[in-house]
Amino acid sequence: MVFSSLLFMFRFLPILLLLYFIAPKKLKNGLLFLASLVFYAWGEPVYVVLMIFSTLVDFFHGNRVEKCIEAGNKKKAKKYVISSVIINLCLLGFFKYTDFILTNINSIFGADIPLLKLPLPIGISFYTFQTMSYTIDIYRGEAKAQKNIISFGAYVAMFPQLIAGPIVRYQTVAEELVDRKVTQDGFADGIMRFMTGLGKKVLLANNIGMLWDTISASNMAEVSVLTAWLGAVCYAFQIYFDFSGYSDMAIGLGRMLGFHFPENFLHPYESRSITEFWRRWHVTLGTWFREYVYIPLGGNRKGIKRHFFNIFVVWCLTGIWHGASWNFGLWGLYFAIILVAEKLFLLKVLAKIPRVFSHIYTLLLVLISWVIFAFDNLTSGLHYLKAMFGGYGNVFVNNNFLYQISNHWVILLILIIGSTSIPVWLAKKWKLERFTILKLIFIVVIFLLSVAYLVDASYNPFLYFRF
| pLDDT per position as a tens digit, 262-279 | 999 999 999 999 999 999
395 with 340, same domain: the answer is yes
pLDDT at 454 over 80: no
72: left (phi over 0), alpha (psi -120 to 50) or beta: left
Among 120, 149, 180, identify where a domain stops: 180
Which of 180, 200, 230 is the C-terminal boundary of a domain?
180
Residues 236 and 140 in one domain: no
Given this model, what pLDDT does residue 177 score?
92
In terms of residue numbers, what domain contains 49? 2-180
- Identify whether residues 135 and 238 lie together within a single domain: no
Over residues 184-213, the mean pLDDT reads 92
Mean pLDDT over the full length of the chain:
90
Same domain, 342 and 193: yes
- Does residue 410 share a domain with residue 283? yes
Residue 327 in contact with residue 373, Cβ under 8 Å? yes
Same domain, 343 and 327: yes
pLDDT at 247 over 70: yes
157, 54: one domain? yes
Q: Are residues 305 and 423 in the same domain?
A: yes
Q: Does residue 429 share a domain with residue 285?
A: yes
Give per-residue pLDDT as tens, 330-387: 999 999 999 999 999 999 999 999 999 999 999 999 999 999 999 999 999 999 999 9
**Looking at 121, 154, 180, which one is the last position of a domain?**
180
What pLDDT digit, counting tens, does each position of 88-106 carry? 999 999 999 999 999 999 9
The answer to whether residues 105 and 239 belong to one domain is no
Catalytic positions, please? 322
What confidence score (pLDDT) does residue 1 get?
A: 42
Residue 245 in this model has a pLDDT that exceeds 70: yes
Do 114 and 251 reside in the same domain of the chain?
A: no
How many structural domains does the chain have? 2
Is the model's pLDDT at 450 over the cut of 90? no
Whether residues 151 and 206 fall in one domain: no
pTM listed for this prediction? 0.93
